[in-house]
Structure 1
Amino acid sequence: MIEPGQAIPTVQIFEATDEGPKPVTTDEVFGGKKTVLFAVPGAFTPTCSARHLPGFVEKMDEFKAKGIDQIACMSVNDAFVMKAWADSANADGIVMLADGNAALTEALGLEMDGTAFGMGKRCQRFAMILDGTKVEKIFVEEPGAFEVSSAEHVLANL
């Protein structure tokens, strides 16, 4: 698993935009920016939709006030699903990243097996603070938990 001090691997993912899926590399998305990246096991899933994404939407101004340039949300879903989820959650201003093939998830060492729930390979729930592509802090949840990757916890650790 990636650790503080290490750089995020250069991987292609897709950004969900109003114009459709946009292929981007991690270097393009995170390079030169102070970012909070959080990941969820799946768009539209209960905890992700009711608590995780909304927390970052609600606290966006507080993150900006603490020097965060962007907040990015990632899931092993396609960009169309990520766009629909952003629209339904009024997540304007959150960069929605689709890791549909789990390439970044695997490169980070944060994959989980969701086959017992009919979800296949997914990403563990986590949040990290990035300075460019360098990981400053990472908060990985225990299976089934939602504590250390919350917007409130990340804000308290800035």
Structure 2
Amino acid sequence: MTIQTGQPLPDLPLAVIDSGEKQNTTTGALFAGRKVVLFAVPGAFTPTCSERHLPGYVAMYDAFRERGIEVYCLSVNDAFVMQAWAQAQFVPPGLKMLADGNADFTRALGLELDGSAYGLGLRARRFALYAEDGVVKSLAIEAPGEFRVSSAEAMLAVIGG
């Protein structure tokens, strides 16, 4: 079942890349007491993810920070891939890259995507959510093949401020 607005995010372990360094943490620690936009991509280094989705959040990172909002990128990839992708995309310090290597968090959200037909295996659907203190306030899930509602611009419009 897909997580809904008003529900708390599940507390599960993740690897995070922040300022180029890998750390092990939990989603509970990452979201507690913070306003966060979490956006998920089907895969690091894939076309839409690398050409539009992540670059949009990189370009608008300061606009989120001015509103007191953290920005996290999630992918079902290992931490080393997320680290390399962050470096290749010039991700600013503070924009956290979350590696959900076994898709445990993605599955707990109910937002997994079976990409087996494309040789990708289990991945995250393209989505973005806004959470305050670990509780989902807004959730935008893309239709297959689309990129509209989970963009940085779309999330800024939803959050306002």
Q: For residue 99 of structure 1, what is the amino acid of its counterpart? A: D
Q: State the 1:64 CA deviation.
A: 1.6
Q: What is aligned with 1:111?
A: 112
Flag as ranges the 4+ runs of structure 1 deviating above 3 A.
17-21
Q: Which moved more, 1:148-157 or 1:58-67?
A: 58-67
RMSD: 1.1
What is the CA-CA distance between 1:138 and the residue it aligns to? 0.5
Alignment of 1:6-155 (within 5 A): 6-17=7-18, 20-68=21-69, 70-92=70-92, 93-155=94-156
Q: Distance in 2 between matches of 1:17 and 1:152?
A: 23
Query: C-alpha offsets along residues 69-121 of structure 1, whole Å, 9 cap, x if unaligned?
Result: x1000000000000100000000231000000000000000001000110000
Mapped contact 1:42–1:122 kept (Cα < 8 A) = yes
* Gap runs ≥5 in structure 2: none
Could you tell me how far 1:19 is from its partner in structure 2? Answer: 7.0
Tell me the SS of whatever aligns to 2:148: coil
Paired with 1:155 and 1:14, the residues of 2 have a C-alpha distance of 26
> How far apart are residue 129 of structure 1 and its match?
0.4
Q: Which letter maps to 1:116? A: A
Label 1:35 to 1:18 Cα distance change in 2 as closer, same or farther (>3 A).
Answer: closer
Shift of 1:61: 1.1
- Unaligned segments of structure 1, at least 5 residues: none
- Matches of 2:39 and 2:124, distance apart in 1: 10
Q: How many residues align?
A: 157
| More deviation, 8-17/144-153 | 8-17
Aligned equivalents of 2:18, 2:133: Cα separation in 1: 21
**2:20/2:86 contact within 8 Å kept:** no
TM, length-normalised to structure 2? 0.94
Give 3-state SS (helix, strand or coil) of 2:48's partner: helix
Query: For 2:72 and 2:88, how far apart are their aligned partners in 1?
Result: 16
